[in-house]
Amino acid sequence: MIEHLPALQTVLPLLAAPVCVLLRRAALVRVFAALVTWSCLAIAFSLLQEVLRNGAVSYELGGWAPPLGIEYRIDVLNAYVLVLVATMASVVIAFPLAGRELRIPKERFFLFYALFLLCLAGLLGITITGDLFNIFVFLEISSLSAYALIGLGRDRRALTAAFSYLAMGTVGGAFILIGIGLVYQMTGTLNIVDLGQRLPPVLGTRTVWMAFAFLVVGTSIKLAAFPLHQWLPNAYTYAPSVVSAFLSATATKVAYYVLVRLLFTVFGFAFVFERVQLTALLLPLSLIAMVVGSLAAIYQTDIKRLLAYSSIAQIGYMTLGLSLANLDGLTGGLVHLFNHGLIKGGLFLVVACALSRVESPRIESLRGMGKRMPWTMAAFVVGGLGLIGIPGTVGFVSKWYLVLGALDKGLYFVAFMILASSLLAVIYVWRVVEVMYFSDEEQAVERHDAPLSMLLPTWVLIGATIYFGFDTELTAGVAEKAAAYLLGGAS
């Protein structure tokens, strides 16, 4: 049993999804899906423990030896991402579905849970597998279910948002597939570790350069890295808030993981950063993403769109850490993966809480809510402080490593920009805070907060943004190990 944990990590949610459709009763399905998700979390944690104790775990699917068979390979990097994905899924699944945010009636809620588990299976699969083609397969599973999840939003524009995500996502998927094909043509293998050994002799060929370009652009679309981010704002705005919470905390993060894996394990540090000089491209784009994303967030009138643009800026932080390609920078990027997942997931859940009492997600409709929904709004403030990167929140830990990474390379301007763009976060966060806490109405408002079943998962995430601001053993500690592993393995 215990040695089959890697397989269970993906098989469990994958098989549970159709079971949801069979069970049908909303309450029953919810409990079932939650149990499955929580078991995934337990598996992810035990895998991380195992990896931290004994090093990388290799699992041969169906007993076929790699590189011919599919290998699940868990090292400290993807064990860390597995924990992130499973954690976020576990919290979101506990959040009660609000009928007013979904276009399907309560009798058909089981569809949501089935899609959710499929998406989870896809995301976990991408992360755990050691096979490039397998990544593509799981990518499609997670993407297709994500399109449908976004399309569940009540607003009709959710459908066009899902469609444009579908269009962009398919292009990204196709690019990745082309890249995989080209790499396979040159090496005859799809196993990631095997690729890392077989690619170096042929790195100079134009085919490999093409494959590199296709793979990087393809994953960047999935990651919503600037300027390939256009699908993201609409998708997060019109999707049900719980879906936005889940996808913002996991889907882009997994894409980031794939990018890191491709750059460091498949193509290798020397090729990517010395020959191709990816930094020259990725660093300026990341900086632009940080500034433009934040500036765009400042001008939004819809709170979900504000958070979506803020995500684009935060993804900029992560790719910035990647482009610095030193220990501190990469640690910063990886730790921000986790930290931003907590913050943004928490903030979208705050929106879900607010939408249980407020009609529209327009910022203006939150006026004076600080008194009516004190716990919900306080959660927003704490999450917002995390986005800004106030010490004592997770955002500070990420920023600390990123600035150190920039200083380490002597890039003083970049260090300055990291801090300056966090001030833009002050503006967009405080715009909302002012609306929430300053109202012109004089009369006392009655307190009418979101139900406890919603507040609890929200505060778990928001509380975690504070907790992991102090206890960084699991986040920064593991991220640093992963970064050291990647850089050590590369050079």
Partner 1 sequence: MNPEEAIGLSVMLPLLGALGIALVGRYPNLREAVTLVTAGAVFATVLNLVPSVMAGARPGLEVFQVLPGLTLAFEVEPLGMLYALVASGLWIPTALYSIGYCRGHDEENQTRFFACFALAIFAALGIAFARNLFTLFLFYEVLTLSTYPLVTHYGNDEARRAGRTYLGILLTTSVLFLLLAIIWTWHLTGTLEFSPGGILAGRVDGPLVAILLGLYAFGTGKAALMPFHRWLPAAMVAPTPVSALLHAVAIVKAGVFTVLKVIVYVFGIDFLSETGGSVWLMYVASFTMIAASVIALTKDNLKARLAYSTIGQLAYIVLGGALATMDGVFGSGMHIAMHAMGKITLFFCAGAIFVATHKKNVSEMDGLGRTMPFTLSAFFLGSISIIGLPPTGGAWSKWYLALGAAEGHHAFFIAVLMVSSLLSIGYLMPIVGRAFFLPSPEKEQAQPGGRAGFWAGIQEAPLLCVFPPCLTAVGCVLLFFYAPAILELLQTMSLER
Interface of this chain with partner 1, residues 451 to 480, rule: CB under 8 A: 469-472, 476
Q: State the amino acid at position 273 in one-letter form.
A: F
Task: Pick the closer one to partner 1 by CB: 130 or 370.
Answer: 370
Task: Pick the closer one to partner 1 by CB: 68 or 423.
Answer: 423
Among 108, 420, 448, 488, binds partner 1 (CB under 8 A): 420
Task: Pick the closer one to partner 1 by CB: 39 or 439.
Answer: 439
Does residue 364 interact with partner 1 by CB under 8 A?
no
Q: Which two tokens stand for residue 239?
A: 């999707």
Among 14, 352, 354, 385, binds partner 1 (CB under 8 A): 385
Does residue 313 interact with partner 1 by CB under 8 A?
no
| Rounded distance between C-alpha atoms, residue 169 and residue 6, angstroms | 27
Shortest Å, Cβ 341 to partner 1: 19
Residues 6+ apart with CB under 8 A from 464: 342, 346, 394
Q: Specify the stretch interacting with partner 1 by CB under 8 A; choose among 27-35, 184-192, 241-249, 412-420.
A: 412-420
Q: Specify the stretch interacting with partner 1 by CB under 8 A; choose among 3-11, 24-32, 153-161, 421-429.
A: 421-429
Interface size with partner 1, residues (CB under 8 A):
30
Q: Specify the stretch interacting with partner 1 by CB under 8 A; choose among 146-154, 174-182, 345-353, 416-424.
A: 416-424
484 neighbors 75 (Cβ within 8 angstroms): no
Task: Pick the closer one to partner 1 by CB: 293 or 389.
Answer: 389
Phi first, then psi, for residue 102 (nearest 5°) are -110, 150
Among 403, 454, 455, 461, binds partner 1 (CB under 8 A): 403
Does residue 407 interact with partner 1 by CB under 8 A?
yes
* CB-neighbour burial class of residue 107 (10 A; exposed 0-12, middle 13-18, buried 19+): exposed
x/- string (CB under 8 A) for partner 1, residues 120-159? ----------------------------------------
Shortest Å, Cβ 378 to partner 1: 12
Does residue 404 interact with partner 1 by CB under 8 A?
yes
Task: Pick the closer one to partner 1 by CB: 365 or 439.
Answer: 439
Shortest Å, Cβ 225 to partner 1: 25
Does residue 28 interact with partner 1 by CB under 8 A?
no
Does residue 400 interact with partner 1 by CB under 8 A?
yes
Among 64, 438, 451, 491, binds partner 1 (CB under 8 A): 438
Task: Pick the closer one to partner 1 by CB: 28 or 419.
Answer: 419
Among 419, 445, 447, 448, binds partner 1 (CB under 8 A): 419
Q: Specify the stretch interacting with partner 1 by CB under 8 A; choose among 192-200, 219-227, 337-345, 402-410.
A: 402-410
Does residue 339 interact with partner 1 by CB under 8 A?
no
Shortest Å, Cβ 399 to partner 1: 8
| Rounded distance between C-alpha atoms, residue 344 and residue 353, angstroms | 14
Helix pair 412-437, 303-324: axis angle to 10 deg:
160
What is the binding site for partner 1 (CB under 8 A)?
A: 385, 388-392, 397, 399-400, 403-404, 407-408, 415-416, 419-420, 422-423, 426, 430, 434, 437-439, 469-472, 476
